[in-house]
Amino acid sequence: GLSRRAFLGAGAALGGLVLLGPTRTGQARAAAPFEPTRTVTLGAGETELKLLGPDGPATRILAYDGVPFQTLRVPRGTRLKAEFVNGLDEGSTLHFHGIRMPNEFDGVPTLTQPLVQPGGRFTYLLPLDDPGTFFFHPHCDETGQAGKGLAGVLVVEDPRDPAFDAEHVLCLKDWRLAEDGSFLPLTEPDGASKAGTFGATRTVNGAASVELTAPAGGHARLRILNLDSTRIMDIGVEGGEAEGFEAWLIAVDGHALKPVRLDDLPDGIWRMGPAQRIDLDVRMPADGGTVTVGDYRASDIYHFAAIRTEGQAAKPRKGPLALPKPELPRPDMKKAARFSFTLQQATDAAVKNLALPADDPLAKALIDSLCVGSTTYWGIDAESWPAGNRRNLPPPLARMTTGRSCRVEIRNETRFPHPVHLHGHAFEVVSSSLDRLPRHFADTVLVQPGEAVEIAFVAAPGDWAFHCHILEHMETGMMGWFRIV
Ligand code: C2O
Ligand code: CU
């Protein structure tokens, strides 16, 4: 299976083994002095949560500082110093998903830093210049660690945002639980090699559903995060016939877009894969009534939030309440360098090559230090992470030049959708062969079977991971990296 035990013998097992990280050529940056304006400690460890209801058994989940999905709120421009303390019994790191940052703080084991061993620490220095809804999570044994709940929310507030009458953060995650509250296996070959291994206990902020309030006629900002390992969700909002109700999509992956009425989107929903976030502006009905927020995917409807009116908005505003335009580097589409990558089922050869005997210390060191599974089901351009019987980091999928605009086509030749994430950048989602997406900035884009999506960005220096965010897919091969010098 994918699960890895604590890799306590790392140093010893690596002795005499060539497990090279990338050489850092051309990456010398004048080290700008970093004056933290906010310092936090994030200790990964166990805590208890009653996921099967208030009268049910408690589950030993993982969380930072014992607070499930804790939310860090900071103003835009914050210089965040985050001290990670690994209280788990296996290696881990912290990855701040979607944040544009110096590469050395990106948290990808072997690629940007050594794995933090149990009891170890690592300090991340992050300039938070982009406002929005972000999150942070481990970047090793994600199926095991994030699967057990290890994640936190990072809200970077923009003082220029319009004032909302209410704001709510909604973290969606399913759990794989037995009746006694213990975890079922977090991955199964049939899931990992297909759509993923799903949890049947669905939650929002750790509960089956939440009841929220917002003033009648007022505007509620919902920050919705898909923190599940596997599930793709179709987020919609219902207000019945209530007078005045309306809902707009105002940001994707934290980045503002020109507000789109949910009703004007195909099927009235926004499809969101693991790691993707949206901000909604919900205008509440003028007098009474309840607004329902749910996942309307397929027949499996899950209503996770009800918003009741409480009080009256001081001054009714029509809306939508648009967020300020993102201040992100805009790629030059004409001058851009072009790349194309294909998401694939791993070839039989790749699968066989990787079937290293589990007791082979080389195999174990490779699996642990690259944080991969022992099986390969997926690949990008016939390369898997790692591919074949390599004993070190696979070569980069692409080499790019700092400051250069890049257009990257992502083609999905598999039978399953894949939410593809590029580290360290906010990219523009330029086009889709299925023509289903408005142009917007994002850090993760869902690519449907048979679809080709084009993204574009201005390349930032570093070695950046590029992978599917269905965690079992990334850990069984659908991961690579770009070297930008
Ligand atoms: Cu959300 Cu490679 O990460
Ligand atoms: Cu995938």
Give the model's pLDDT for residue 346. Answer: 83
Separation CA 101–CA 104 (nearest Å): 8
Q: Is 277 in the pocket of ligand 1 (CB under 6 A)?
A: no
Ligand 2 centroid – CA 39 distance (Å):
35
Q: 422 in a domain, yes or no?
A: yes
Counting ligands in written order, which one lies closest to the CA of residue 410? 2
Above 80 in pLDDT, residue 373? no
User: Do 348 and 447 lie in a common domain?
Assistant: yes
Ligand 1 centroid – CA 97 distance (Å):
6
Residue from 479, 173, 150, 172 nearest 341 by CA: 479
Q: Which of 262, 277, 312 is the last residue of a domain?
A: 312
For the chain, how many residues are written?
485
Question: Of ligand 1's atoms, which has the minimum distance to the CA of residue 444?
Answer: 1
Q: 4 in a domain, yes or no?
A: no
Q: 11 in a domain, yes or no?
A: no
Q: Which of 136, 157, 178 is the last residue of a domain?
A: 157
Separation CA 356–CA 367 (nearest Å): 10
Give the model's pLDDT for residue 390. Answer: 52
Q: Is 421 in the pocket of ligand 1 (CB under 6 A)?
A: yes
Separation CA 458–CA 400 (nearest Å): 10
317-330: average pLDDT = 96
Q: Is 440 in the pocket of ligand 1 (CB under 6 A)?
A: no
Q: 14 in a domain, yes or no?
A: no
User: Do 176 and 145 lie in a common domain?
Assistant: no
Residues in the 5 Å CB sphere of ion ligand 2? 418, 468, 470, 473
Q: 19 in a domain, yes or no?
A: no
Q: Which of 108, 131, 157 is the last residue of a domain?
A: 157
Domain that holds residue 439: 337-484
Q: How many domains does the chain have?
A: 3
User: Do 434 and 351 lie in a common domain?
Assistant: yes
Ligand 1 centroid – CA 92 distance (Å):
13
| ipTM reported for the complex surpasses 0.95 | yes
Separation CA 94–CA 32 (nearest Å): 22
Q: Is 473 in the pocket of ligand 1 (CB under 6 A)?
A: no
User: Do 128 and 200 lie in a common domain?
Assistant: no
CATH number, domain containing residue 122:
2.60.40.420
pLDDT tens digits for 125-160? 999 999 999 999 999 999 999 999 999 999 999 999
User: Do 306 and 182 lie in a common domain?
Assistant: yes
Question: Of ligand 1's atoms, which has the minimum distance to the CA of residue 97?
Answer: 1
315-344: average pLDDT = 96
Ligand 2 centroid – CA 126 distance (Å):
28
**Considering only CA atoms, which residue is closest to atom 3 of ligand 1?**
97
Residue from 242, 212, 239, 216 nearest 224 by CA: 212
Q: Is 465 in the pocket of ligand 1 (CB under 6 A)?
A: yes
Q: 24 in a domain, yes or no?
A: no
User: Do 239 and 195 lie in a common domain?
Assistant: yes
pLDDT tens digits for 273-283? 999 999 999 99
Question: Of ligand 1's atoms, which has the minimum distance to the CA of residue 423?
Answer: 2
User: Do 174 and 270 lie in a common domain?
Assistant: yes
Counting ligands in written order, which one lies closest to the CA of residue 230? 2
Give the model's pLDDT for residue 351. Answer: 59
User: Do 121 and 220 lie in a common domain?
Assistant: no
Counting ligands in written order, which one lies closest to the CA of residue 343? 2
User: Do 349 and 475 lie in a common domain?
Assistant: yes
Bridge partners, residue 173, by sequence: 203
Residue from 33, 68, 30 nearest 49 by CA: 68
Ligand 1 centroid – CA 94 distance (Å):
10
Residue from 186, 175, 129, 177 nearest 154 by CA: 129
Q: Is 4 in the pocket of ligand 1 (CB under 6 A)?
A: no
State what percent of residues in the chain have pLDDT above 90. Answer: 78
Counting ligands in written order, which one lies closest to the CA of residue 150? 1
pLDDT tens digits for 83-133? 999 999 999 999 999 999 999 999 999 899 999 999 999 999 999 999 999
Give the model's pLDDT for residue 194. Answer: 95
Q: 119 in a domain, yes or no?
A: yes
Separation CA 19–CA 189 (nearest Å): 27
Number of Cβ within 10 Å of residue 309's Cβ equals 23
Give the model's pLDDT for residue 292. Answer: 97
Q: 327 in a domain, yes or no?
A: no
Above 50 in pLDDT, residue 14? no
* Structure confidence at residue 391 as a pLDDT band (50, 70, 90): low
User: Do 227 and 361 lie in a common domain?
Assistant: no
User: Do 365 and 440 lie in a common domain?
Assistant: yes
State the Rg of the chain over Cα: 22
Separation CA 105–CA 121 (nearest Å): 13
Q: Is 214 in the pocket of ligand 1 (CB under 6 A)?
A: no
**Considering only CA atoms, which residue is closest to atom 1 of ligand 1?**
97
Ligand 1 centroid – CA 153 distance (Å):
14
Separation CA 24–CA 316 (nearest Å): 55
Question: Of ligand 1's atoms, which has the minimum distance to the CA of residue 479?
Answer: 2
Ligand 1 centroid – CA 352 distance (Å):
27
Give the model's pLDDT for residue 80. Answer: 98
User: Do 296 and 173 lie in a common domain?
Assistant: yes
Q: How far apart are the two ends of the chain, measured CA to CA in Å?
A: 36
Question: Of ligand 1's atoms, which has the minimum distance to the CA of residue 465?
Answer: 2
Give the model's pLDDT for residue 18. Answer: 33
Q: Is 423 in the pocket of ligand 1 (CB under 6 A)?
A: yes
Above 50 in pLDDT, residue 15? no
Question: Of ligand 1's atoms, which has the minimum distance to the CA of residue 139?
Answer: 2
Bridge partners, residue 429, by sequence: 440, 455
Question: Of ligand 1's atoms, which has the minimum distance to the CA of residue 135?
Answer: 1
Ligand 1 centroid – CA 421 distance (Å):
7
Asked whether 307 and 284 are in contact (CB, 8 A), the reply is yes
Q: What is the pTM of this model?
A: 0.92
Q: Is 97 in the pocket of ligand 1 (CB under 6 A)?
A: yes
